[in-house]
Amino acid sequence: MHRGVYLDYVGVKSFDANGEVNGERRFIGLFSSSVYTSSVKTVPVVREKVQAVLKSTGFAANSHSGKDITTILETYPRDEMFQISVDDLTQAALGILRLQERRRTSVFLRTDDYGRFVTAMVFLPRDRFSTDVRLRVEKELKDSFVAESVEYEAQLGAGALVRLFYRLRLRRDGQLPAVDHAALEERIAKAVRSWSDAIVDTARASLELGDANTLSNAWSEAFPASYKVQFEIEDALKDINLLSSLNDSADSGPIVSFYDPTPVDADSPVSKRMKIFVTQPLLLSRILPVLQDLGLQVVDERPYQLNPEGVGQRYIYDMGLKFDPEIEFSRIEGKLAEAYCAVVRNEAESDSLNALVLREGLSWQQVAMLRAYAHYLLQLGVPNSTGFIANTLVGNASVTHSIVELFQATFDPALSAEASEAGREQAKTKITEALEAVPTLDADTLLRRFAKVIEATKRTNYFTGHQALAFKLAPEEIDFAPFPRPKHELWVYSPRVEGTHFRFGAVARGGLRWSDRREDFRTEVLGLVKAQMVKNSVIVPTGAKGGFYAKQLPNPAQDRAAWMEEGKGAYKVFIRTLLQLTDNMVTDGTGEHIVPP
């Protein structure tokens, strides 16, 4: 054997006097090299077919068309010439003749008489041929015919077209799939398009002409080669729609989308893939901790820098994610994207509590509410760490859900008074029942304290959509709060600032303090208010005092001005949020009125 190919089989039948087949001589092997190097007009069996084709087409032997047909037959796959019928060969030759010098993708198919294989000749523009294109065409053919194996030959001549010849070995059950030839040819034409042409064609098929031209002019050459290897044109169009909604302002983006793993990920443990669309480059050290806090494991990352004309640089970060396969991802997909974007936009913090989004389907706003109460409990002096609090809430999901329901039922403005009361009672019952399953006393105590501070909350701005959360509480109702216990307390929490304000009576006065004690600024302010009450006792019956801690201060040793500006900014957020829960007393011609925020 001088080449690794399938054996040829030649059968010569013998007949009796009645014309019935009474035997056959079978030759199994490979044709010699002369079969492939000799002219088709001299090879037995083939030469008769060639003569029949030339006669059928009717072209003069010395005409241009006659010479072109002869050239086509001389370069036709020689093994195919032995098996194809004269009619099929004639149609194929004429089809190739009409295709000469035309930059159009065409497919010629032939099915083996015994259903063992299908041959496909694919002609495509020479400048579009590459290994990636060949593999895409091969995949399209293999999928269409459910082939067990594929062999190919490539012929690059001096013309404008490249010929790819495929032999697809079919399954042994003899079931030949029904394949629409025109549809297959259209799919292969899409597979071999150049990237820019495909962007233009797809845009014009789905958009108005003006919009399509604008899009194609900006994006046809914007994608890097690494992106083109991984994604199809249709994927690029979806990504362009998302990227086009970004602008170069500081508060634009990110945009997040999820999609199922591609065949490239078949051998990796990827559960889902995530794309992050931004206008500025991101560091992995910025992305990974946020995703890990959400409960996601990052398996791999593929960055793409795009340069659309007239738009400005855009970036796509494609992440392979792994998580518990029992999680119903479609249910929380949108919430997960919103949670990631909220952290990047500095609307939420990233910590272990964010795992509640993936595992329990909470929104990032609900997690932020729990985080705000958790930090209030820490300021009250509970002996638990932030890690313990997060693990307790995540590990006791039924209690956590009931705590969220208690908060929603208490403050949701869409509920009537009757519905709110019924919802509160139902949530309290759920909490009591769920606490029976809590394994440790520390966790039980902590969860009961969450419920207690929510019950002691009288007002909140949670449902108005503000980034900084505020709760008006009655510390006198919190039995574990340290003394002295003010009559009213406003607790403010955001990624930028934490703060509190005490009032020990209906009428009180006092100042605000910019604290540098992150862990216990409430204790600091509580000590100051005692002195305030003594000093002001002559002026007003009771005292008041507030304090805040700015959480995102730059290093003052490096930039004192920036440190001061951030402190002022945190103070403004603190004051603005306090006012969101504070009534005004307005006097007009009809008397005095209380105007809620």
CA dihedral 91, 94, 98, 103 (to 10 degrees): 60
How far, in Å, CA of 58 to CA of 42, rounded?
21
How far, in Å, CA of 21 to CA of 35, rounded?
28
CB 547 within 8 A of CB 515: yes
How far, in Å, CA of 11 to CA of 34, rounded?
20
Catalytic residue (one of 272, 545, 551, 572):
545
Among all chains, which residue has been given the structure tokens 């005092």?
Answer: 545
CB 361 within 8 A of CB 400: no
CB 449 within 8 A of CB 377: yes
- Is residue 272 part of the annotated active site? The answer reads no
CB 55 within 8 A of CB 70: no
Give the DSSP H/E element, type plus range, for residue 191: helix 181-192
Using N-to-C axis directions, what is the helix angle for 521-536 and 364-380, rounded to 10°?
60
From residue 583, give the alpha-carbon distance in Å to each of 416, 579, 586, 597: 22, 8, 10, 6
Q: Is the dihedral of CA 322, 328, 333, 339 positive or negative?
A: negative
533-554: b (≥16 Cβ within 10 Å) or e: beebeeeeebbbbbbbbbeebe
- Give the residue among 383, 431, 426 at the shortest CA–CA distance from 403: 431
Amino acid letter, 547: G
Query: In the chain, count of helices (H) and strands (E)?
Result: 21, 19
Give the DSSP H/E element, type plus range, for residue 41: none
426 Cβ contact partners less than 8 Å away, ≥ 6 residues apart? 405, 409
Phi first, then psi: give them for residue 501, nearest 5 degrees.
-140, 125
Which residues does residue 314 pair with via DSSP β-bridges, in sequence order? 306
H helical segments located in 40-170: 46-57, 64-75, 78-83, 86-99, 131-145
- β-pairing, 314-322 vs 8-15, is unpaired
127 Cβ contact partners less than 8 Å away, ≥ 6 residues apart? 194
How far, in Å, CA of 594 to CA of 575, rounded?
20
Annotated catalytic residues are 545
